[in-house]
Amino acid sequence: MNRLRLQRRLPYSFFVVYRFQLRNVKRLSWLCLACTLFGCTPDDTPLKAENQRLKKQIERQETIIASLQEGNKLLQEQIDRLHQEARAQQQQFEETLRASQARVDQLTQGTQAETQQLKELERQNQKLKADLRWLRRQRDQLRQGMKIFVPLERPIVIPHPLSRVLSAVETTLRQNGYALLAEMLTDQKAVLVTKRKTSPAASLEIPGFRNQFLVTLEQDTNRSTKLWIIAEFEKLMSNGVMIQPTTQEVKEVQLRLAQEIQRAVQASGKVKPAAQP
């Protein structure tokens, strides 16, 4: 009854407008749903560009890895050759030691007049034993110290040919008291390994150092050379305790050696003035 009364009170045009607006709302709802379902696909152009960049970067890294593996193969061949030489020298020392020991045994049964000669042979025998122990220690250090080197950091490029830079490296190491443990030379590369050098502590507060360097050179162009330096660096306290340094301290030691090498290269490139008559 109330509805009928309301319809009688409201005009007929109101119901027509109300139905028209309701239909428009439904149509707009369907239109929004269609736009949502069949909208434009997202632009994947940046993703494709990033994918291409990553592929190129992977190809460059694979090329670098292949080059490093070739260098490591050459270094491994040099290590094997050094091991063979060390074994040959050890065998020679052992044969000499056995011959000396046999001669000592013969002289032991000799007369009193040969006692002095026997003592001299014993001294030589002890020296040969010490030399043999030293050779074994050197061989063990070579096995433990010589590692395949894969340079991960960026090299230092020196604008001079490989021969001049190599000469400067050898001069710098010699002037700073570093003897070479191993050296490998090719037309394009050079690898130098120094023996360990120990400087004792000067006082209770100031520690000493024990350093060993692995220097790698590679010809970049005809007029430039790449330089890598790896330092095995330890702090030696006055009580004989070894302390491992920080990464920053190791980098500082490597940087100091690189600066000394660059100064040596520049000094070798200067032309000395002719002597006045």
State the angle between helix axes of 247-269 and 162-175 in degrees (0 to 180), rounded to the nearest 10: 120
- Distance CA(146)–CA(70), nearest Å, equals 17
Domain-located, residue 85: yes
Structural domain of 187: 156-269
* Residue 31 belongs to some domain of the structure: no
Whether 29 maps to a domain, the answer reads: no
Question: Which tokens belong to 149?
Answer: 């080197």
Q: Global pTM?
A: 0.43
pLDDT (tens place) for every residue of the chain, 277 residues total: 544 444 444 454 444 445 555 566 666 666 666 666 555 555 567 777 888 888 888 888 888 888 888 888 888 888 888 888 888 888 888 888 888 888 777 766 666 667 777 888 888 888 888 878 887 777 677 656 544 444 546 888 999 999 999 999 999 999 988 888 888 888 888 889 888 887 765 554 556 677 888 999 998 888 899 999 988 877 777 666 777 878 888 888 888 889 999 999 998 765 443 333 2
Residue 95 lies in a domain: yes
Cα separations (Å) of 181 from 80, 194, 200, 254? Answer: 14, 5, 21, 18
Domain presence at residue 277: no
Instruction: Give the pairing type, strands 242-243 and 224-236.
Output: antiparallel
pLDDT of residue 240: 65
Residue 248, domain member (yes or no): yes
DSSP β-ladder status, 208-221 and 224-236: antiparallel
Query: Are 79 and 127 within one domain?
Result: yes
Q: What is the pLDDT of residues 142-184, one digit of tens each?
A: 656 544 444 546 888 999 999 999 999 999 999 988 888 888 8
Contacts of 187 (CB under 8 A, 6+ apart): 219
> Where is the domain boundary, 121, 145, 169?
145
Q: How many CA atoms lie within 13 A of 125 on its CB side?
A: 15
- Tell me: do 135 and 185 sit in the same domain: no
Q: For tokens 């020991």, name the residue.
A: 101
Per the domain annotation, does 47 fall within a domain? no
Q: What pLDDT score does 10 carry?
A: 46
Whether the CB-CB separation of 253 and 233 falls below 8 Å is answered with yes
Is 5 inside a domain boundary?
no
Q: State residue 42's pLDDT score.
A: 55
Bridge partners of 36, per DSSP, are none
Write out the two tokens for 63. 């090329």
What CA–CA distance (Å, rounded) separates 207 from 234? Answer: 10
